[in-house]
Chains A and B, each alone.
Chain A
Amino acid sequence: MEWLERNVPKFVLAPSFVAILVFVYGFIAWTAWISFTKSRLMPRYELDGIGQYERLFAAPRWDVAMNNLFIFGGLFIVISMVIGLMLAIFLDQKIRAEGVLRTVYLYPMALSLIVTGTAWKWILNPGLGIQAAVRSWGFENFTFDWLIRPEMAIYTIVLAAVWQASGFVMALFLAGLRSVDTEIIRAAQVDGIPTHRIYSAIIIPTMAPIFLSAFIVLAHLAIKAFDLVIALTNGGPGYATDLPATYMYAMAFSRGDLGQAASSAMIMMGVIFAIVVPYLYSELRPRRDQ
């Protein structure tokens, strides 16, 4: 009986543990293996060195995809956090109809990225959207054609992604702001400290864990960004807005080049590890003050 009591949790957890072992780590290992083979249409298992990685790094399209990841990821994370924080601070001023406004800002998150992408595709299309509208108001020379300019198109993706995610970041920060001890804020107010100082010196520093969470959530959204690109630009013009995820999809499913897809997937995983591992390390290490 006692034995059972001790072991029941293990039995209950075992199936999901096995499932994760096989379907997550097992397939990561499988992908890693495939990335070292000459697999094309179908997986082959004879190892063939690092040929796929050499091909990957020789492909100009992969360079574009990685560059785009850094441009998109960097801008998306920074801008979403800045806008999210601003919105949260403004909403935190005990304003009227806060509930309504909060919902308004959060709503984009409820949309699927496919919907966001399609809507922005129309909004940004020079002949249908903003440019056409402004021109029809009489500003004949107004130009806003980022969507069709290869060097600017990646920023349209940033724009749509920020629109989608900043409301969510706002909600995160708002929760953080509300969790700051009001006593400290009152004390500061009594001491006559101006509001912006209260925010910059007291509230924001105590919210450091929220920043970290927001960063991690946004970073993984950025790295796995796929549907937004597919809907908004489909990687175009040319392949100017390709991201590693769309590159991998093209290789695996359109071109019958599984080896390339596997090696690009491994690099993507490496990028994620580079971000997540330091985070886990900082979260999981024993706290010095405890």
Chain B
Amino acid sequence: MSKFQAKVDRQGSKISVQLGGIIDEDADFTALAIKDAQEIVIDMDAIKSINSCGIREWIKWISEGDKSKVVYSKCPKVIVDQMNMVDGFLPSFAKVESFYVPYYNEDSGSEKNILFRYGVEYREGQVQPPPDVKDESGQVMEMDIIESKYFKFITSKV
């Protein structure tokens, strides 16, 4: 089990936060003060999981940045699921810069995460997945999600 990890890089009024591990009741966000920042970029590439207590801590923490421009970057599926389900997890002042979409080939069992980037694979109300995602053996992979549910945070903003 990987513990919660956080790394903060402050450059003037911009704060870059790298988060990783498990976000649960033991995750300590108190050291990640974001209240006075103008721009906050949160890199979530290394986040493994989040539970209901972690969600509570997250919403409490992210609500401090309500005066800032908050950017979610490289959101893994566990985060996207929470963005779709939990009101306040993706507050209105936050924007998703990129997120991962899991792909899967049932025949070979191969899995892959494809990073969807704002302005490329999606924009407000629209998702334009890459035409063909293939695994290393060249087999075509399909999205391992239910699109209507997974892209809800995009489509609902129309």
Determine if chain A interacts with chain B: no
